[in-house]
Chain A
Amino acid sequence: MESVKEQAFQEDKVKILSQFLSFKLGNEEYAVDILSVQEIRSWEPVSRIPNTPAYEKGVVNLRGDIVPIIDLRERFNLGNLEYDNLTVVIVLQFSFQDVTRIMGFVVDSVSDVVAVDSQIIQNSPNFGAKVSIEFINGLVEINERMLMILDVEKLFKLEGIDDNGDTESDKN
């Protein structure tokens, strides 16, 4: 019994598998930690919010919660794409200081759930100023495809959202 445990522990040490949900934006493949995914929904019309960046599409009613929808393509400056039947919204949740926020992210399509040994995740190489890698946590190779693992915390940082919770309303 003990030895089995020990062995398992040893194995754990070698391979720490985390699961990621991968999705597509154009030809690029991205992934987020599956533990932060609340649900996947199809695209539905949103209520537009005035005077916000274009990538903040608006808000929807998610079982009584008002949830903002962010277009990830536009957020990453990958150009626009007409929303179609395949267009999905990945609803992510993120907790920071006891506050859990929920946001939806529009992506082209959801691909797969992949298990990745967190030790083989590479840091994103430096592309200099011309490529923004602020949202990318690391790169990993799965079946000869490159997967960009996104930093959920950074995704949730929208303009005007403060960590302290007191937003612009106080400044006015």
Chain B
Amino acid sequence: MSIDMEQFHQVFFEESFECLDAMETGLLNLDMGAVDSEEINTIFRAAHSIKGGSGTFGFDNVAAYTHVMETLLDEMRDGRRDVTQQAVEVLLGSVDCLREMLNAIEAKEPVDESRVAEHKKSLETELNSAQSTTDESESTPVVQEAVTPEPTVAASIEASVLASPVVWDIKFVPHEDLLVTGNDPVRMFRELAELGKLDVTINLEGLPDNLDGLNPEFCYLAWDLVLTADVGKDEIDDVFAWVEDECDLSIVLRDPVVVPLNNTDDTQALVLPEIVAPVQEVMAAAEEITEPEPTEESVEITDETTVIVAPKEKSAEKKKAASHTASIRVDTGKIDGLINMVGELVIIQSMLSLAGENFSTDNLDRLKLGLSQLERHTRELQESVMNIRMLPINFVFSRFPRLVHDLSLKLEKKIELKLVGENTEVDKTVIEMISDPLVHLVRNSLDHGIEIPEERLKKGKPETGSITLAAYHRGGNIVIEVKDDGKGLNKEVLRQKAIEKGLIADNAILTDKQIYHLIFMAGFSTAEKLTDVSGRGVGMDVVRRNIQELGGSVEIDSELGVGSTMSISLPLTLAILDGQSITVGDETYIIPLSAIVESMNMEEGQINHVVGKGEAFLLHGEYLPIIRLHEIFNITSVKSSNLIEGTVVVVDGLDGSRCGLFVDELLGQQQVVIKSLEKNYRSIDGISSATILGDGSVALILDIPGLIKLSNQ
């Protein structure tokens, strides 16, 4: 049976990453005082799914690793272990480690074994440490951590150590319907055989005497298995985990040295082993000493003193390098809606073709009706298709609890993160591109905004600082706010810094907004940061640029000592834009409606000349420069170069600078579908992208900030 398993890998990876996210969320939600067992169950289930999946696909290292996590979680679940902050940290670390492993496997790169070993060891240390605190008789004997070279009888019992060759007698009597449920004993045996030496004896007692009564779908066989393997009972249990309810199973340790009294709450039958003469065990122990079996785990133990430091940045880079097909999970409701609409479209199509076939002027009304319906449906269809790309912003937000948790520990600050409006839907591209800038803003708030607890208490603020991430719709935009109740921005300091850096003149008069915007200037942010926790090399200028590339803007509002708010405003979707079409000569261009402040016709007296060449006009008390589009774009076919004859469109270049754009004529406003110029061509200064007009021709969409920059050159 050779099925190409590769085809399922992608699904496995996606599911595993989801499970990891679920585990992470679960771990962060764990309340140290009152642990919700359901929460631990969720984490356990996620770990178990990953283990199962990775086992099936042969990613044994992942399975083995998850197994250790599972053991730990299992003890927590059964209440045999307290949930400590430290344990949670270790588990969080192993979630990261698993993620790296999966990333590496997905990218078909070798897994960084040293790093895995390091994590695994801390997990195992955690497991061991608890063993000394909890009741020995109840803790699971985890063999691999506890191999001691000198096993005396007493010591080995106490520490649940298995020192001599371990022989497990397994009596496996499946119920008749085992095969019907899709479980195959052969597979389980194969899995057991991987643990150690396995002898299988079949037991035919269950076979019906009369073969006529034999149901070919039933399993009448039973097996007696003898497994010689240095493993704990839980590992064997795991093999049978899926068939627990479909068989009578007894797993008995033949060797009397260790009596696994664990799993007392286990429903499975536990038969006490018979007592064998102590001479035998001493001999067995001697054997063990002379022939130590170097298992993978025991090698690790010997390494215990050497600390393996893995390069941490490496994994982050790898993550980016791993290319995988982008896929999207869509709510079935949305797809059903689409199918409905396509159905409607088909009906209209047939109606129209009928009207077209026997066309007469009597049919004109029907044709018109059909066309108007077609128009409506196309628009609806378009909206629904766009809707498919919409994902809740939670996809980005969900990573922040972890980030804040880690950072606040590192910076020794107490911070509470509030998420508001996680279900606000945004285009997938926006989600992908906004997450890095957002991470940077949150880090900034954490690092520079929120004060350390003592300072906060001194100022009369609550000890725990708060950061709020909020998302909501406003008009055709989505607004994402990062709000903290920290110390706020100090205008004077910012101003001083900017003057020092030579970014502004000594006597420059700046509004509050302009001062705040200084932090976005290149070369400014790095100087401000003395305790840089980010280390990602993403300065605030990059944040702003990323957001501008998405067609959005950032606003800062701050009050010294009270806190600051950064609001990012982004268009809902990147694929469609509200535009104003304009003409210059023979060319048609689209100006994004969001950039237009107003448009006006000039009158003779309004235009002022600056130093002979530059032109400016007064609008609401502010002199704005005029940019002649035909000059910048070298359009020769221009209708008129006289400012009075054309139209001036007042546009806003995101950073607050405004100017008047001189064009020939305004056409209409329309929604345009954005098409990339870079795909087949390259980026052009002053042009953001292109679109296709109703007549099939291409119109370029102007990039207003780029245009202003171009005109300044």
Interface residues of A (CB under 8 A from B): 45-52, 58-61, 64-68, 101-103, 158, 160-161, 165, 167-169, 172
Contacts and interface: CB of A to CB of B under 8 A. Distances in A.
A64 B690 CA distance: 11
B633 A158 contact: no
B680 interface: yes
Interface string B409-435: 000000000000000000000000000
Contacts of A165: 678
A66 B634 contact: no
Q: Which of B677, B697, B709 has the most CB of A within 10 A?
A: B697
Contacts of A51: 632-634, 684-686
Given A59-B698, A172-B709, A50 B678 contact: no
Q: Which of B675, B679, B680, B692 has the most CB of A within 10 A?
A: B680
B687 interface: yes
Given A47-B587, A47-B698, A50-B635, A65 B678 contact: no
B314 interface: no
A52 B677 CA distance: 14
21 contacts: A47-B587, A47-B690, A47-B698, A49-B684, A49-B700, A50-B632, A50-B634, A50-B635, A50-B686, A50-B687, A51-B634, A52-B684, A61-B698, A66-B676, A67-B681, A68-B680, A161-B682, A167-B678, A167-B682, A168-B685, A172-B685
B680 A66 contact: yes
A68 B684 CA distance: 12
Contacts of A58: 698
Given A49-B687, A168-B685, A172-B685, A67 B680 contact: yes
B682 A103 contact: no
A71 B569 CA distance: 42
B681 A68 contact: yes
A7 to B, nearest CB: 35
Nearest to A158: B682
A66 B587 contact: no
B700 A47 contact: yes
Interface residues of B, number: 28
Nearest to B691: A66
A103 B700 CA distance: 17
Nearest to B587: A48
A38 to B, nearest CB: 11
Contacts of A61: 692, 696-698
A103 B686 CA distance: 22
Q: Which of B681, B684, B700 has the most CB of A within 10 A?
A: B681
Contacts of A172: 685, 706, 709
Contacts of A101: 679-680
A47 B699 contact: yes
Given A47-B697, A48-B587, A50-B635, A66 B683 contact: no
Contacts of B697: 45, 47, 60-61
Interface string B616-632: 00000000000000001
Given A60-B698, A61-B692, A61-B698, A50 B682 contact: no
Contacts of A52: 684
Contacts of A168: 682-683, 685
Contacts of B679: 65-66, 101
Q: Which of A61, A67, A101, A172 has the most CB of B within 10 A?
A: A61
Interface string B658-690: 000000000000000001111111111111001
Contacts of B692: 61, 64, 66
Contacts of B685: 51, 168, 172
Nearest to A56: B681
Leading 3 A-B pairs by shortest Cβ distance: A50-B633, A47-B698, A68-B681
A156 to B, nearest CB: 9
Contacts of B587: 47-48
A46 B588 CA distance: 12
Nearest to A48: B587
Contacts of B678: 165, 167
A165 B690 CA distance: 18
B670 to A, nearest CB: 16
Interface in B347-403: none
A61 B698 CA distance: 6
B633 A59 contact: no
B696 A66 contact: no
B651 to A, nearest CB: 17
Contacts of A167: 678, 682-683
A101 B634 CA distance: 27
Given A47-B699, A47-B700, A160 B634 contact: no
A51 B588 CA distance: 16
A60 B692 CA distance: 9
B698 A103 contact: no
Contacts of B676: 66
Contacts of B706: 172
